[in-house]
Copies of this chain bind each other. A is one copy, B any other.
Amino acid sequence: MNKSVSVRWLAVDWGTSNLRLWAMDEWHQVIDHKSSDQGMSTLTSDQYEKVLLSLISDWLPATGTLPVVICGMAGARQGWLEAPYRPTPTPLTKLAQAAVEPSVLDTRLKVSILPGLCQMELDSQDVMRGEETQILGAMQQQKLSSGLFCLPGTHSKWVVVEHDQVRNFSTSMTGELFQLLSHQSVLRFSMTGKWSDQAFVSAVSETYEAPAQLMARLFSVRSRTLLSEPETGEMDARLSGLLIGAELSGQRHILQKNEPVYLIGSDFHNHLYQQALVSLGFSATALDSEQMTLAGLRAAGASLIGVSYD
């Protein structure tokens, strides 16, 4: 950290199991960063301020207050202070206006927690918390006002943005299903920890074209191992491909051949989903999820703090 540059505000991504903190200067550039495993699931609401202070002692100003802008699960009901979900359609550029401010004992802190989004229509009720900030970041960074976003992972989110507003979104439990099936179901006996690209794209196509067959195809991962000797890595890739193909099939109505899907995920997930989408004739632009979180916090922070954002 360059001590000659003073910390103007803090950007914080406070998730379920981890938190990441960035010290920002007055031009909204990162001058230092930290991380911790004191995520939401390890804390009661009265512990957040102490944890925050213990992590940022060398960033605190001698005088005045330090704005702290937080996204993620710290705003959940079981977090620091609930930042109620904003219902869709929601203009992302106004997320910061809906932030909640938990009361603090240390008056040098001014904490704002950004809200998540919800969709209330009965047939498509859904929630997100944290992803909205990443999408805001991607829109700023890519200079977009509309687009189709996919945030792959444990719970993949598919998000349609039009004119800076989240129109609708849905969540697939793809990553969690893969973890459960590959580690805890009878399919675990077929997993090698290896990989085959060809088996992956072939399985993606199977369930993309015939999603009704997903339930029956999953067991084929086991049957094929019993009846033949599949190539190493084929079954890991097949299981992943069957699940992702079914997920993509459920998004068929919003996928378009001439518009890229903006993927916001880890390198691993982005690569996997890009490969799946390209194999089906779509295109994808991969964006790093941590960078998008930071970009989103920067945009929200700039609007909250009232310093012009460049």
Instruction: Give the interface of A toward B (CB within 8 A).
Output: 85, 118-120, 124-127, 155, 158, 170-174, 176-177, 180-181, 184-187, 211-216, 218-220, 222-224, 226-228, 243, 246-247, 249-252
What distance in Å separates the Cβ of A133 from its nearest Cβ neighbour in chain B? 19
| Smallest beta-carbon distance A29→chain B, Å | 36
Cα A228 to Cα B121 in complex, Å, equals 11
A164 to B125, CA, bound (A): 48
The chain B residue with its CB closest to the CB of A247 is B215
A186 vs B175: C-alpha distance when bound (angstroms)? 12
Q: Would you call the interface of chain A mostly helix, strand, loop, or mixed?
A: helix
Q: Report B-chain residues with C-beta under 8 Å of the C-beta of A170.
A: 216, 219
| Option from B118, B177, B214 in Cβ contact (under 8 Å) with A227 | B118
**Contacts A125-B220, A226-B127; is A215 near B243 (CB within 8 Å)?**
yes
Contact indicator A215/B184 (Cβ below 8 Å): no
Q: Are B173 and A219 in contact (CB-based, < 8 A)?
A: yes
A118 cross-chain contacts in B, Cβ below 8 A: 223, 226-227
Shortest CB-to-CB span from A48 to chain B, Å, is 21
Residues of chain B contacted by A187 (CB below 8 angstroms):
173
Q: State A211–B6 Cα separation when bound (angstroms).
A: 55
User: Nearest chain B CB to A176's CB is how many angstroms away?
Assistant: 5
Q: Which chain B positions have C-beta within 8 A of A211?
A: 211-212, 214
Once the chains bind, are A212 and B120 in contact (CB under 8 Å)? no
A174 nearest CB across to chain B (Å):
6
User: Does the CB pair A184–B186 fall under 8 Å?
Assistant: no
Q: In the complex, what residues of B have CB within 8 A of residue A223's CB?
A: 118-119, 125-127, 171
Q: Are B219's CB and A172's CB within 8 A?
A: yes
Structural contact, B250 and A213, CB atoms closer than 8 A? yes
Query: Bound state CA distance, A224 and B121, in angstroms?
Result: 10
Whether the pair A125, B250 counts as a contact (CB closer than 8 A) is: no
Instruction: List residues of chain B with CB within 8 A of the CB of A181.
Output: 173, 177, 180
How distant is A77 from chain B, measured CB to nearest CB, in Å?
8
What is the distance, in angstroms, from A218's C-beta to the closest C-beta of chain B? 5
**Is B180 touching A184 in the complex (CB atoms < 8 A)?**
yes
CA distance A130 to B85 in the complex (A): 51
Q: How far is the CB of A264 from chain B (nearest CB, A)?
A: 18
Contact partners of A177 in chain B: CB under 8 A: 177, 181, 185, 215, 218
B126 touching A220, Cβ below 8 Å: yes
- Cβ B185 vs Cβ A215 within 8 A: no
